[in-house]
């Protein structure tokens, strides 16, 4: 997560991969959040289920923030601001499950890449996990 092209989510100690099947309308993000790193606050227009496999974190959903660890499951309703912060001394491993192969995302806050600290979050996007395509978030989605 140290690609300067994603200036809104700079996390050089974190790693993620997307798992999908062209025949299924579902997507899973497998992620390891590095010590001290956080997934910035963001919104999706679809529901999300987050499964915590290891580590300790805080999870914010809407106005609530709570501690989570291995074995916990967080349900994030569509349209809720949410984000995850690693609060422990080891990586936090999660799986984020989406009921669609098209995942939209709009950042509310940023983990700014070096040299972009004063910028505002970029426009929202939609990732199509079946094709690998990325397009601007719009009302047609």
> What's the rounded Cα separation, in Å, for the pair 43 and 62?
10
Domains contained in the chain, CATH given = 15-133 (2.60.120.10)
The answer to whether the CB of 52 falls within 8 A of the CB of 74 is: yes
pLDDT tens figures, 21-71: 888 999 999 999 999 999 999 999 999 999 999 999 999 999 999 999 999
CA distance linking residue 87 with residue 57, whole number of Å: 5
pTM: 0.92
Distances (CA, A) of 110 to 1, 30, 141: 13, 20, 24
Q: In this model, does residue 3 exceed pLDDT 90?
A: no
Q: Which residue has the tokens 């600290």?
A: 117
Question: What local confidence, expressed as pLDDT, does residue 40 receive?
Answer: 96
């Amino acid at each position: 997560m140290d690609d300067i092209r994603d200036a809104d989510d700079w996390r050089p100690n974190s790693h993620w991969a997307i798992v999908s099947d062209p025949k299924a309308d579902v997507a899973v993000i497998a992620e390891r959040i590095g010590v001290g790193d956080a997934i910035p606050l963001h919104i999706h227009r679809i529901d999300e289920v987050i499964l915590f496999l290891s580590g300790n974190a805080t999870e914010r959903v809407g106005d609530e923030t709570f501690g989570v660890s291995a074995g916990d499951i967080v349900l994030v309703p569509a349209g809720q601001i949410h984000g995850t912060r690693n609060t422990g001394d080891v990586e936090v491993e999660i799986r984020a499950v989406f009921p669609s192969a098209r995942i939209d995302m709009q950042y509310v806050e940023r983990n700014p890449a070096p040299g972009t600290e004063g910028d505002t979050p970029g426009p929202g996007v939609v990732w199509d996990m079946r094709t690998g395509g990325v397009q601007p978030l719009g009302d047609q989605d």
